[in-house]
C-alpha cells in the first residue's frame, strides 16, 4: 500500500545520540514509511536520473567554461566569461527558494516537468549562442532555472518514501550526480573536435531529454500536504523564519555545510593542476604519458566518491547522520594533512602512490558532503515541510558559487589583485625563506642581485651563474654575433622544465629585474636575446624532442636548434617546417614567421605549429592551439616574444625524402638574366611547390657575383621550374643529392662566426625593373664601405609566393597581415658582417641611407609593401606596424588580455615590441 499509513504506535527510537536527535516531533512521529520496495526504489531511481541531469551538468561546467572562454568568446575577458557559469550555478541553487514550498504543496512531478522544459530549451539553444548575452540567457538563466526545479523535488520525493533508510536512498540517488559528472565531460571532450560546439551540445541535450523523461515518469510524492495547511499561494512562499526555529539548528547546520562545501572543492579543483605543475607538465600532455595521470587522479576521486555516497549513507542510517558526517569530514581533514600536505612539502615531484592514497581516502569520505547534506536537514523538520527547508538551505549556500567564480575565471589570466608572492608559493617557492630577498627594496638597483641570488638559492650555481665563471663565458660566447656576446647580464639562468620558467618570470616581477630569453641566439643586434645587467635565460637544457604515437606531431623544446629536430626525425623519413640553417633556434624563427625549404607546399614555420605551450605573465602554463586559446595561438604565429615564453612547440610533421640542392654562381654580366630567372621561378611556384630558392648579390675577392641557392625537396636532377637558371652559364655549380640535415649543414658554412652582424629587410611587389635598379644601386654604393676590415655585405632576394600566402591561412591564419591576393611579393634583405666595433657607426649610417633610398624608390614606383619580416629586421625597424593597423591593434588587445601588467613589454624589453619601441637599447 503506497498511501500514507498512520500508526497508533511511535516508531522505534532513532539511534542518534541526544546531540543529534531530530528536532521534529509531531506528525512524523506517527507516519510510517515503506523504507523500500519496488515503488520506493523506483522513486529513488527517478531521483537518480533527475540528479544525473541537473548536478551532472553542474559538474561539467569546467569543460564548458574552458571551451567557451578559449574558443567561442575569445574577445571577452575570462572574468566576464567566468560569470556566465558562476551565475548559472547561483541561479541553480538560489531559485530553489521558491521551488521548495511549491513541492510541499503540489508534489514533484509538475516541478520536474517544468524544470525539464527550462533545462532542455537552455541546452538546445546553447549551441546557437555566439554573443555573451546569449550565453547568459540560454545557459545561466534558462538552464539554471531548470536545475532549480529539479534538485528539490528529487530529494523531496525520497523523503516521502524513506525515513530510517533515507541516508542509503539519498546516497544512491546522489551517485547519479557523480555519474553525470563523468558522462557529460567525457561526451563533450569526445564530441567537440568531431562535430563542433553546436552538435555536441545538442547530443548532450538529447541525453538530458532521456534522463528528464524518466525522472518525470518515476518520481512521485506519497504524503499529503501538512495537516491544516492550504494550497493557496501564501503557502507557496519562502519562509526565512526557519533559520530561527527556536533551537538555531537550521542556521548552524547551514553555516557548517557552507564551510564544508567551500573546502570540498579545493582538492576537487586543484588536484590535477597540482600534479601537472609539480611535474612540470602541461595540459597539452594530458592525452598521454605522465600527464594523463593527473586527470586519472580526479577520475579516481569521483569514482570512489560515488561509492562513498552510498556506503556512508547506509552507515549513517545505522550510526546517526550528523555523527557520520562529522566523522567523514574529520577523515577528509586527516587525508589532506596526512597525505596531501606531506607530498606538497616534500620538495620532490609528487609521489604517485601517495596521491592515489589521498584521492581514494578523500574521495570516499567526501561522499558524505553530498549525500548526507539533505538527510541531516530532514531531521530538522517534518517531512511535509522538507521541500521548504531544503530549498531555503540551497538558496543560503549559493553564495559559494559566486565566491568560486572569481577564483575559477582568474586561474589563467591575471586578476587585478594578482599576488606574485602567492603565485610563487603555489609553485613551491617561499619568498621568506630566500636570504637574497630578505632585505630587497623592490625595483631598486639591487633588484638583479636579489633575483640572481634567489635563483642560485633555488637551483644552485650550476643552473644560475654570474660573471667570472666558466659557464658564464661559455654561455655569452654562444651567440651568432659579437654584439650579442658583448652584452653582460648580471647572471644567466638555465631552466630545465616549464615551471622553472614560471618561477623566473614571477621572480622578475617580484624584484623588478629585467630578463631576456635565448633559444638559438641567431638575432644579430645586442639585446635581442641578451640583456645588460639583467637575467639572460638560456633555454638550452629544455631540448626534449618527442614524436607522438602516429608520428603526425613532434613536440620540441625551445632549447633546440633546427638541425637537432631534423636529425631526430630523419630516421622516420620525416621533417618539420623550420629553419634552413643548422644552428638557427626553433623559438625565434617560429614565432617570427619562419621561411622553410618546404614553404611553397606547407606555408611558413608558424603556420605548421599544432600548439604552443606558453608561460603567461602570471606564471600560468597554458596550451594555445586552434581550439584552445585561439587568439593567443594566432598572436604567437608571427607576434614574437610579446605574449609569453613558449616552453614547447608541437609541430606537424611532413614526409622528407632525400632532396636536391646546392649553389649556382653567376658572373656580373649575367645579373639581369639572373633577376629575370628569379622573377620567373617565383611566379611559377603555383605550378611546382617543391622548389625553393634565393639569390644573393655579393662582392668577394674583388668580384661582383650572384650566388643562387636552388633547392628541390624531391631528389630530381633537373626540375623544369629551374630551367631559367640552367639556361644561364654558371661559373660554379654545387647542386647534388643531400639529406635535409646535410643540406642545412652546408648552408651553415656560408654564415661566418665571430664577426659583427647586421640585418635589414624590405618587402616590395614583384617587379623586374625595380629588382634590377636595387641591384645596380647596391653595387654603386658598396665601394663606400668595402675597404673596411672583414666587410661582407650581401643583398638577398627571396620570393613570398602565392602558395606560401595561401598556406598562411591554415588553422585560422597568422598575425603577419599578408593575403594571397597581394602576392607574389619580393622579400629584399641585407646581411652585413664586419670585424671592428669602431666601424659600427659608419656601417649603420651607410645601411640606413641605403634602405631609406630604396624605400623611397619603392614608394615612388608604386611597389612598396608595408610588411617587415621580423627574422630579417634591424633593430631600427618597426616590425609590428608592418603587419597593418588592424593586426597591430588586435595583437595589442591580445597582449592586454594575457599580460595586463605589460610584463613582456617592460621586463623583457629586447626584440620587437608591440608599441614600436626600439628593439634594443644597445648597439
Per-residue 3-state assignment (H helix, E strand, C coil) for 494-539: CCCCHHHHHHHHHHHHHHCCCEEEECCCCCCCCCCCCCCCCEEEEH
What confidence score (pLDDT) does residue 528 get?
A: 87
What confidence score (pLDDT) does residue 152 get?
A: 75
CB 917 within 8 A of CB 877: no
pLDDT for 779 beyond 50: yes
Pick the range with the lowest mean pLDDT from 174-188, 277-291, 397-411, 623-637.
277-291
Residue with cell 571551451: 67
Work out the average pLDDT over 424-429. 75
On the 0-12 / 13-18 / 19+ scale of CB atoms within 10 A, 227 is exposed
pLDDT for 693 beyond 50: yes
Span 616-646, pLDDT tens digits? 999 988 899 987 888 899 999 999 999 999 9
3-state secondary structure of 437: helix
Q: Please state, in angstroms and rounded to a whole number, the distance separating the CA atoms of residues 334 and 332.
A: 5
What confidence score (pLDDT) does residue 371 get?
A: 66
- What's the start-to-end Cα distance of the chain, in Å? 94
What confidence score (pLDDT) does residue 187 get?
A: 80
pLDDT for 159 beyond 80: no
What confidence score (pLDDT) does residue 55 get?
A: 75
Q: What is the mean pLDDT of the chain?
A: 82
Among 588, 713, 594, 607, CA closest to 651: 607
Residue 182 or residue 652, greater confidence: 652
Residue ranges of E strands in 182-298:
none
CB 315 within 8 A of CB 330: no
Characterize 612-623 residue by residue with b for buried, 16 or more Cβ atoms within 10 angstroms of its Cβ, and e for exposed.
bbbbbbbbbbbb
Pick the range with the lowest mean pLDDT from 241-255, 506-520, 607-621.
241-255
Which residues sit opposite 711 in a β-bridge?
661, 692
Residue with cell 599544432: 610
pLDDT for 3 beyond 60: no
What confidence score (pLDDT) does residue 321 get?
A: 72
CB 213 within 8 A of CB 52: no
- What separation in angstroms does the CA of 134 have from each of 72, 138, 148, 410, 878? 12, 6, 20, 22, 40
For residue 289, name the pLDDT band (cuts at 50, 70, 90): very low
In which region does residue 426 sit, left (phi positive, over 0), alpha (psi from -120 to 50) or beta (all else)?
alpha
Q: Which residues contact 43 (CB under 8 A, 6 or more apart)?
A: 157, 158, 160, 161, 218, 219, 220, 222
Q: Please state, in angstroms and rounded to a whole number, the distance separating the CA atoms of residues 111 and 108.
A: 5
Span 743-768, pLDDT tens digits? 999 988 887 778 899 999 999 999 99
CB 606 within 8 A of CB 590: yes
Work out the average pLDDT over 869-884. 93
Neighbours of 438 (CB within 10 A): 11
Span 475-531, pLDDT tens digits? 888 888 888 889 999 999 999 999 999 999 999 999 999 999 998 878 888 888 899
Span 330-360, pLDDT tens digits? 888 888 888 887 776 665 666 788 888 888 8
pLDDT for 660 beyond 70: yes
DSSP secondary structure of 55-110: HHHHTTHHHHHHHIIIII-TTS-HHHHHHHHHHHHHHHHHTHHHHHHHHHHH-SHH
φ, ψ of residue 654 to 5 degrees: the values are: -135, 155
Span 291-309, pLDDT tens digits? 456 656 766 777 787 777 7
Work out the average pLDDT over 567-582. 95
Which strand (E) or helix (H) includes residue 695? strand 691-700
What confidence score (pLDDT) does residue 5 get?
A: 40
What confidence score (pLDDT) does residue 173 get?
A: 77
For residue 662, name the pLDDT band (cuts at 50, 70, 90): very high
Q: Please state, in angstroms and rounded to a whole number, the distance separating the CA atoms of residues 583 and 563.
A: 7
Question: What does DSSP assign to residue 667?
Answer: E
Span 878-899, pLDDT tens digits? 999 999 988 998 999 889 888 9
φ, ψ of residue 296 to 5 degrees: the values are: -65, -35
For residue 262, name the pLDDT band (cuts at 50, 70, 90): low
Work out the average pLDDT over 893-919. 87
Characterize 806-837 residue by residue with b for buried, 16 or more Cβ atoms within 10 angstroms of its Cβ, and e for exposed.
ebbebbebbbbbbeeeebbbbbbbbbbbbeee
3-state secondary structure of 578: coil
Residue 167 or residue 725, greater confidence: 725
Which residues sit opposite 708 in a β-bridge?
664, 695
pLDDT for 8 beyond 60: no
DSSP secondary structure of 334-376: HHIIIIIHHHHHSSSSPPHHHHHHHHHHHHHHHHHHHHHHHHH
Work out the average pLDDT over 416-436. 76
Residue 724 or residue 98, greater confidence: 724
pLDDT for 923 beyond 70: no
Q: Please state, in angstroms and rounded to a whole number, the distance separating the CA atoms of residues 867 and 800.
A: 11
Residue 440 or residue 228, greater confidence: 440
Question: What does DSSP assign to residue 419?
Answer: -
CA dihedral 398, 400, 405, 411 (to 10 degrees): -160
What confidence score (pLDDT) does residue 478 get?
A: 83
Beta strands at 792-800 and 825-834: parallel, antiparallel or unpaired: antiparallel
Pick the range with the lowest mean pLDDT from 368-377, 487-496, 758-767, 863-872.
368-377
Neighbours of 274 (CB within 10 A): 19
Which strand (E) or helix (H) includes residue 746? helix 740-748
Among 743, 757, 795, 746, CA closest to 479: 757
pLDDT for 699 beyond 80: yes
Residue 132 or residue 206, greater confidence: 206
Question: What structural domains and CATH numbers belong to the chain?
Answer: 5-29+36-221+237-409 (1.20.1250.20), 659-738 (3.30.70)
Please give, one letter per residue, the 3-state secondary structure of 843-909.
Answer: HHHHHHHHHHHHHHHHHHHCCEECCCCHHHCCCCCCCHHHHCHHHHHHHHHHHHHHCCCCHHHHCCC
Say how many CA atoms lie within 13 Å of 286 toward its Cβ.
17
CB 329 within 8 A of CB 369: yes
Residue 783 or residue 336, greater confidence: 783
DSSP secondary structure of 23-67: S--SGGGGEE---SHHHHHHHHHHHHHHHHHHHHHHTTHHHHHHH
pLDDT for 27 beyond 60: no
Amino acid at each position: 500500500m503506497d498511501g500514507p499509513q498512520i500508526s497508533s504506535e511511535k516508531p522505534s527510537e532513532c539511534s542518534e545520540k541526544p546531540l543529534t536527535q531530530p528536532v521534529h516531533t509531531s506528525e512524523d512521529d506517527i507516519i510510517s514509511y515503506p523504507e523500500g520496495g519496488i515503488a520506493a526504489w523506483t522513486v529513488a531511481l527517478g531521483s537518480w536520473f533527475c540528479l544525473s541531469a541537473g548536478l551532472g551538468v553542474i559538474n561539467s561546467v569546467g569543460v564548458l567554461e574552458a571551451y567557451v572562454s578559449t574558443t567561442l568568446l575569445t574577445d571577452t575577458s575570462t572574468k566576464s566569461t567566468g560569470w556566465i557559469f558562476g551565475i548559472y550555478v547561483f541561479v541553480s541553487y538560489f531559485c530553489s527558494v521558491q521551488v521548495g514550498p511549491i513541492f510541499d504543496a503540489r508534489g514533484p512531478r509538475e516541478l520536474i516537468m517544468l524544470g525539464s522544459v527550462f533545462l532542455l530549451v537552455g541546452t538546445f539553444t546553447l549551441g546557437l549562442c555566439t554573443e555573451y548575452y546569449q550565453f547568459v540567457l540560454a545557459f545561466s538563466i534558462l538552464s539554471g532555472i531548470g536545475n532549480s526545479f529539479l534538485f528539490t523535488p528529487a530529494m523531496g520525493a525520497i523523503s516521502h518514501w524513506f525515513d530510517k533508510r533515507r541516508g542509503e536512498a539519498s546516497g544512491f540517488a546522489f551517485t547519479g550526480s557523480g555519474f553525470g559528472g563523468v558522462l557529460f565531460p567525457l561526451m563533450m571532450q569526445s564530441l567537440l573536435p568531431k562535430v563542433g560546439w553546436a552538435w555536441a551540445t545538442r547530443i548532450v541535450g538529447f541525453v538530458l531529454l532521456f534522463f528528464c523523461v524518466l525522472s518525470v515518469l518515476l518520481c512521485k510524492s506519497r504524503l499529503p500536504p501538512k495537516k491544516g495547511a492550504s494550497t493557496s499561494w501564501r503557502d507557496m512562499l519562502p519562509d526565512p523564519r526557519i533559520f530561527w526555529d527556536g533551537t538555531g539548528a537550521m542556521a548552524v547546520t547551514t553555516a557548517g555545510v557552507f564551510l564544508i562545501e567551500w573546502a570540498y572543492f579545493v582538492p576537487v579543483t586543484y588536484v590535477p593542476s597540482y600534479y601537472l605543475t609539480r611535474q612540470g607538465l602541461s595540459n597539452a600532455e594530458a592525452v598521454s604519458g605522465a600527464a594523463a595521470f593527473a586527470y586519472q587522479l580526479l577520475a579516481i576521486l569521483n569514482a570512489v566518491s560515488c561509492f562513498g555516497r552510498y556506503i556512508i549513507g547506509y552507515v549513517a542510517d545505522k550510526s546517526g547522520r550528523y555523527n557520520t558526517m562529522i566523522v567523514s569530514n574529520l577523515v577528509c581533514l586527516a587525508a589532506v594533512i596526512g597525505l596531501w600536505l606531506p607530498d606538497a612539502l616534500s620538495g620532490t615531484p609528487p609521489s604517485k602512490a601517495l596521491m592515489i592514497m589521498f584521492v581514494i581516502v578523500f574521495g570516499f569520505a567526501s561522499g558524505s558532503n553530498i549525500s548526507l547534506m539533505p538527510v541531516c536537514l530532514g531531521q530538522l523538520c517534518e517531512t511535509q515541510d522538507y521541500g521548504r527547508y531544503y530549498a531555503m538551505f540551497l538558496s543560503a549556500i549559493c553564495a559559494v558559487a559566486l565566491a568560486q567564480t572569481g577564483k575559477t575565471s582568474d586561474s589563467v589570466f591575471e586578476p587585478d589583485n594578482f599576488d606574485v608572492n602567492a603565485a610563487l608559493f603555489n609553485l613551491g617557492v617561499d619568498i621568506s625563506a630566500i636570504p637574497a630577498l630578505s632585505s630587497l627594496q623592490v625595483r631598486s638597483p639591487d633588484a638583479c642581485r636579489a633575483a640572481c641570488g634567489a635563483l642560485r638559492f633555488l637551483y644552485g650555481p650550476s643552473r644560475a651563474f654570474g660573471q667570472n665563471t666558466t659557464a658564464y663565458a661559455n654561455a655569452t660566447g654562444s651567440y651568432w654575433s659579437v654584439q650579442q656576446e658583448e652584452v653582460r647580464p648580471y647572471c644567466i639562468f638555465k631552466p630545465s622544465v616549464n615551471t622553472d620558467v614560471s618561477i623566473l618570470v614571477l621572480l622578475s616581477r617580484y624584484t623588478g629585474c629585467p630578463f631576456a630569453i635565448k633559444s638559438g641566439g641567431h638575432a644579430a643586434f645586442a639585446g635581442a636575446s641578451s640583456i645588460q645587467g639583467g637575467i639572460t635565460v638560456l633555454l638550452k637544457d629544455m631540448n626534449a624532442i618527442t614524436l607522438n604515437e602516429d608520428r603526425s606531431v613532434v613536440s620540441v623544446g625551445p632549447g633546440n636548434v633546427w638541425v637537432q629536430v631534423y636529425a631526430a626525425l630523419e630516421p622516420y623519413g620525416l621533417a618539420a617546417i623550420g629553419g634552413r640553417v643548422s644552428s638557427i633556434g626553433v623559438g625565434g624563427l617560429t614565432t617570427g614567421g619562419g621561411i622553410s625549404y618546404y614553404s611553397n607546399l606547407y606555408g611558413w614555420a608558424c603556420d605548421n605549429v599544432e600548439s604552443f605551450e606558453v608561460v603567461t605573465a602570471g606564471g600560468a602554463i597554458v596550451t594555445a592551439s586552434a581550439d584552445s586559446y585561439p587568439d593567443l595561438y594566432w598572436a604567437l604565429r608571427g607576434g614574437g616574444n610579446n605574449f609569453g615564453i613558449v616552453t614547447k612547440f608541437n609541430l606537424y610533421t611532413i614526409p622528407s625524402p632525400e632532396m636536391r640542392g646546392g649553389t649556382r654562381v653567376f658572373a656580373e654580366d649575367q645579373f639581369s638574366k639572373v633577376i629575370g630567372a628569379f622573377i620567373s621561378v617565383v611566379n611559377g611556384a603555383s605550378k611546382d611547390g617543391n622548389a625553393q630558392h634565393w639569390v644573393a648579390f655579393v662582392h668577394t675577392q674583388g668580384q661582383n657575383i650572384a650566388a643562387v641557392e636552388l633547392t628541390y625537396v624531391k631528389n630530381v636532377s633537373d626540375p623544369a621550374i629551374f630551367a631559367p637558371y640552367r639556361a644561364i652559364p654558371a661559373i660554379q655549380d654545387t647542386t647534388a643529392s643531400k639529406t635535409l640535415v646535410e643540406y642545412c649543414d652546408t648552408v651553415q658554412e656560408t654564415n661566418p662566426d665571430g664577426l659583427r652582424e647586421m640585418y635589414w629587410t624590405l618587402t616590395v611587389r614583384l617587379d623586374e625593373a625595380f629588382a634590377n635598379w636595387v641591384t645596380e644601386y647596391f653595387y654603386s654604393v658598396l665601394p663606400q664601405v668595402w675597404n673596411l676590415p672583414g666587410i661582407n655585405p650581401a643583398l638577398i632576394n627571396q620570393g613570398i609566393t602565392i602558395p606560401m600566402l595561401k598556406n598562411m591561412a591554415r588553422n585560422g591564419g597568422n598575425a603577419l597581415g599578408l593575403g594571397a591576393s597581394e602576392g607574389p611579393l619580393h622579400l629584399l634583405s641585407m646581411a652585413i658582417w664586419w670585424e671592428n666595433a669602431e666601424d659600427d657607426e659608419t656601417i649603420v649610417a651607410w645601411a640606413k641611407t641605403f634602405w631609406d633610398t630604396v624605400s623611397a624608390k619603392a614608394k615612388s614606383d608604386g611597389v612598396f609593401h608595408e610588411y617587415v619580416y621580423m627574422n630579417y629586421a634591424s633593430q631600427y625597424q618597426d616590425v609590428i606596424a608592418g603587419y597593418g593597423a588592424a593586426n597591430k591593434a588586435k595583437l595589442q588587445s591580445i597582449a592586454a588580455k594575457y599580460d595586463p601588467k605589460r610584463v613582456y613589454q617592460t621586463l623583457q624589453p629586447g626584440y620587437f615590441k608591440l608599441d614600436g619601441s626600439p628593439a634594443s637599447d644597445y648597439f
